[in-house]
Amino acid sequence: MQGFNMGRYHPSPPLPPSNPPPPPPPPPPNSPFRTPLPVWCATCPRPTIIAQGVRFNAEKRRVGAYHSTPLWSFTFRHAQCGGVVEVRTDPRNTAYLVVSGGTKRDTGDDDGGSLLRNANSSEGDRSAAFAKLETTIEHRAQLNMSNHRITSLINHSARHWQDPYKANQNLRSAFRPARLKRQQEAQSGAHLGHALSLPFDLPPPTRQDAHHASTITFTPETTKDEDASRNRSFAPRRRNNNNNNNNNNNNNNNNNNNNNPPAQLSPPSSPPAPASPTIPS
């Protein structure tokens, strides 16, 4: 007997194609971007400026290179109107360029100059020329001093590094003891900070620390001073009173002895005569 659904046709799964389609490219990464300069938004119905330093989640992608420096493009959307603004780096001029979606704000830093001249313009130009000449002379003097100083430093460095092996040996011999000393001071400071439960390591002591420590004096509290002075004031008085009482008692005893003469002592009685022995008859 044939079971249920045993002779039914089951098609095989489809075979994978020989040339599968390539996977879609990953989306450009989103990076936090702050506007490096104020930008006028070109898509807002009213003139709106995006202030400098406003943070956006921009799409960062590489659009080229200037020599070995890559050119980056940052594309973000303005939250008020939804317009897309693109800002690119300009390593050649060390600046940023607003490519699309807005324009750079003109701050008007270049004030230019006035083309009008007054009556004292010639005198002012003459004084400015003399001032420029004096400045040039001062600059020449400073330049000569700087050249002399630089030449002396170059000669000193050449004499010092005439023997590089010896100079390196001297540096190492001076650095190693100092390094060991610094390590010991750091370990002692760490142990002391751990013993005192401090949240940081104590730096090595200096002369200024020793001077400040010598100027600090610790005095007892006022209550302890009062107790100590009270004990010192009462203790000798009690001893003097006891001594005076003892002296008075001794004087009274001496006076009584002087008033009452000593009793005459009776001579000692003679011992009794021994009993005579009895002789039986």
Q: What is the pTM of this model?
A: 0.34
- Note the pLDDT of residue 33: 92
What span, in angstroms and rounded, lies between the C-alpha atoms of 180 and 188?
12
Under DSSP, the state recorded for 162 is S
pLDDT of residue 115: 46
pLDDT per residue as tens digits for the range 37-51 = 999 999 999 989 999
Give the tokens for residue 206: 């200096």
pLDDT of residue 17: 67
One-letter amino acid of 210: A
Over the stretch 139-173, which tens digit does the pLDDT of each residue have? 888 888 989 999 999 998 888 888 888 888 888 88
Average of pLDDT values for 71-98? 93
Query: Looking up tokens 């460095």, which residue turns up?
Result: 157
Q: Check residues 69 and 238 and name the one with the higher pLDDT.
A: 69
According to the 3-state scheme, what is the secondary structure of 218-273? CCCCHHHHHHHHHHHHHHHHHHHHHHHHHHHHHHHHHHHHHHCCCCCCCCCCCCCC
User: Between the ranges 49-58, 140-149, 223-232, where is the mean pLDDT highest?
Assistant: 49-58
Classified as helix, coil or strand, 38 is coil
- Return the percent helix, strand and coil in the chain, to nearest 5: 40, 15, 40
Token output for 90: 């300009």
Query: Per-residue pLDDT averaged across 221-233, rounded?
Result: 58
Give start and end residues of each alpha helix (H) in 44-163: 121-160
Q: Looking at residues 224-229, what average pLDDT do you find?
A: 60
